[in-house]
Amino acid sequence: MQIWTGQAYPLGATFDGSGTNFALFSEVAERVELCLLDETGAERRIEITEVDAYVWHVYLPSVQPGQRYGYRVHGPYDPSAGHRCDASKLLLDPYAKAIAGMASNHPSLYSYDFENHAERNTDDSAAHTMHSVVVSPFFDWGNDHPPAHEYHDTVIYEAHIKGLTMLHPDIDEDIRGSYVAMGHPAIIEHLQELGVTAVELMPVHQFVQDGHLVEKGMRNYWGYNTIGFFAPHNEYSHAGQLGQQVQEFKQMVKNLHEADIEVILDVVYNHTAEGNQLGPTLCFRGIDNAAYYRLVEGDEAHYYDTTGTGNSLLMRTPHVLQLIMDSLRYWVTEMHVDGFRFDLASTLARELHEVDRLSAFFDIIQQDPVISQVKLIAEPWDLGEGGYQVGGFPPLWSEWNGKYRDTMRDFHRSQPGKIGDFTSRLAGSSDLYQHTGRTPIASINFVTAHDGFTLSDLVSYNDRHNAANGEDGKDGESHNRSWNSGVEGPTDDTGVRDLRLRRAKNLMATLLLSQGVPMILHGDEMGRTQDGNNNTYCQDNELAWVDWELDSYEMDMLWFTQSVIALRRDHPIFRRRRFLQGTPRDGADSALPDVEWLGTDGTLMTDEDWNNPQNKCLTMFLNGSGIPEPNLRGERIIDDSALVMFNASGNPVDFTLPPADHGREWRVELGTGDTIDVGDALAAETTLTRPGHSLLILMRPPMTEHDDDLPEHDETRTARA
C-alpha cells in the first residue's frame, strides 16, 4: 500500500475520487495509528508520522468509499490530570461521515475493570465497538434548492424518523422506520395536506444505545446520545450497506424539498455518548480528553456536567468550536438541511461557569456566512445553575418558548390569574424578545414536544404513567400542568371524550393563531396517545410510534388542525412580522388599533377585568387594515379582520360582538363545542352563549366605502388599548 504524507485540512476522512486523506486532531497524543478493517474485522495498522499544529495526517491513494477505519491513540493515561489515552481502544473519527455497527456495551469498551475501578482494563475493543466508514461525497442533487420559507410563514412539525413511519399502512414494512420512509410519498402527502412548512427531525446524528438500557432490554428511542456529529444514524438506513445512510438521507432531503418542506435537525452538541468517568472510551475521551470535555477544576478525573448526561463539551477550546462549526456547515452545504434546533443550548454558551450571551460560540455563528443564514433555534435551558435563559439568546436566534407552553396549558385548564400572561404569549411574547430588537419569530411557540405528554394525553391525564420505563414511575416531569377532563385515562364516557376533543382543539387553535412560529408535535394533529407516559425516551415500540388507524374523534382532530393551519396560511394577521402595538396604523384607512382585548360585553377590558384572577374569558380583535409592515415586495398588507373568543372557564358564558365600528357583520370561520355553523353571519353586538372550554373564530373582509355611515370610532377605546 502506498502511503503519502497527506494534508492537515480538512479533518476527517476525505475521498477525492482517487484516494482518501485522513486527518485527526490530538494535542496530547504521542503516537497515532490509523487502523483499516476488512469485512472479517481483520485490522491493518498504519503509523501516522506527519503532524502539523497537532493534526496527524496521511493520504492513502488506494482507500475507497466503504472502507472501515478507526484510530489508536498512544499517549498518557492519567485521569487525575485529565488524560485518558488508551491504545487498546479502537476509536471513532470525530469527523466520520458514516459509522458502521453499534457499540455492544462490552467490558472491553471501558478503560477500567468493572470489579475494581482503579485497575486498568487493556482488552482490545475493536470487535465490540463502532467503526468509521469512508464515504463518497458525490450525489446527484439535480435542481434541489432550499424552500427558504420566511420565518413568519413557517409551521414546524417535530417528528421522529422511526416513530412517524413505523406503522404507516401505505409504506412497505421493509422500509418503515428509515430515511427512505420519511421521504416516502405517503408521508409527504400527509405533511402537505396538513400544511406544515418544515419538519424538525429528532436526533439523526449517529447515537449510541445506552448501556443501562441495553441491560434492561430497552433502547434509546429519542437519540439524545450523540457520538458522531457528521454521520447520519445508521439504524435509520434501509439498505444497511456501508455508508448508504448518507445517500438515503440526502434523497430524503431532496424529496422533502421538492414538496416545499424544509428540514431542520435537532442537534446535540452539548455532550457526547461517552458519559462520565465511568463511561466507555469510544472516541473523544481516548483522543484528547482534556481538550474535548469540561473537567472539574482541581479534580480533573471527574467531568463538569450541566446536561445531566455525565459530561459537557468544552466550549472555550478552538478545536471543539471548530468541530461544531465544521459539522453545522457540513449538514448545510453537503446534506442541504435548512436549520438546526440546539438541544440544551445554554450549555453551549458556558465558556466558564455562567451562561454568556457573548460567548465565542455565538460570535462565530454570527460571523459565519453559511450558518448565520439558516434557521437557528435554541432550547434555552440546561440543568446547570442559571441555565434557564428563555428570552436571553442573541438576536439571530429563535427559542423554544417554555413560558408560552406553561401559560397556554394553565390558561386552558382554567387556572386563575392567567389572562395577562395569556395575552402576552398570544401576541408574540414581546416582553421577552422586543428589548433585544427581536421580532415575534424569536418565539417558537409550542404546547407539547417529544419530552412530555402528547396533546391528547395533556387533556386525558393528571399524572404521568411511566411504569413501563422501569424506573418505578419516578422518571419524567411530575408537574405537567395537565387536566384529565374528569377521568384519568381511557374512558367510554362520551361527555368526557367530547370535552377532551374540544380542549385539544382549543390548544391547537391557540397555538396556530398566536404570533410567532408554531411547532406541532407529530401525531398531535391526529390525537396520538402514549397512554400517559410523558418520558418515552426508551420506548422504541408502539407506545411511542404514531398510530395511523384513526377513529372518528381522531379524524375530527385532523380535519380541525388542517383547517386552522390553512386559516393561518391565508391570513397575514395571524403571522405578523412585527409585534402588535395596540394603536392605529399610521395612514391606515381604519382608525381601529391593530389589536384590542375585549371583555365578554364586547367593550375593551377594564382594569378590573385584567386584575380579576377568576377572569378566564376574553375576545381578541385583530385589525386586518392595521398591519404596518409591508410584504417583502414593499406592498401594503390588507387582510380580513378577526375576532377570536376564548372561554377557558368550565361554564357557559355570554359573549357580545363589538359595535359596528369594528364591522357590521362577521362570518363564523371555525369553532369548538359549537351549535353555530361555519359560514353563518352574525351582526355587530350580537350576543352568543359560548360553552365552557370553547373557542370561536369570526372573520370579516376589510372595510369599504360602503361603511362610511358607520359610527365614529371611540378614541377612548384606543387609549385604553
Question: What confidence tens digit (pLDDT) does each residue in 610-633 have?
Answer: 999 999 999 999 999 988 878 778
Judged against a pLDDT cut of 60, whether residue 706 lies above it is answered with no
Beta strand pairing status for 443-445 and 398-400? parallel
Q: Is the pLDDT of residue 358 over 60?
A: no
pLDDT level of residue 708 (50, 70, 90 thresholds): very low
Please say whether the structural domain 579-700 has been given the CATH code 3.30.70.1450: no
**Residues forming a β-bridge with 706:** none
Contact 314, 305 (CB under 8 A): no
pLDDT value at position 240?
77
Q: To the nearest 5 percent, what fractions of the chain are helix, strand and coil?
A: 25, 20, 50
> pLDDT of 92-131, one tens digit each?
999 999 999 999 889 999 999 988 888 999 999 999 999 9
Average pLDDT, the chain: 93
CATH topology of domain 12-134: Immunoglobulin-like (2.60.40)
Residue 170 has what pLDDT? 98
Q: Is 172 assigned a catalytic role?
A: no
Domain spans in the chain, listed from the N-terminal domain onward: 12-134, 427-570, 579-700
Does residue 113 have an active-site annotation? no
Looking at the predicted structure, is the pLDDT value of residue 652 above 70?
yes
> Mapped to the 3 state alphabet, what secondary structure does 448-469 carry?
CCCCCCCHHHHCCCCCCCCHHH
pTM given for the model:
0.96
Q: Which residue in 94, 104, 125 sits closest to 226, CA to CA?
A: 94
Residue among 33, 266, 274, 343 flagged as catalytic: 343
Of 1, 140, 139, nearest to 67 (Cα)? 1
Torsion sign, CA atoms 408, 412, 418, 422: positive
Q: What is the pLDDT of residue 362?
A: 87
Three-class SS of 225-254: CEEEEEEECHHHCCCCCCCHHHHHHHHHHH
Inform me whether the pLDDT recorded for 696 exceeds 90. Answer: yes
Among the listed residues 33, 266, 305, 379, the single catalytic one is: 379
* Structure confidence at residue 721 (pLDDT): 28
DSSP letters of 32-59? EEEEEE-TT--EEEEEE-EEETTEEEEE
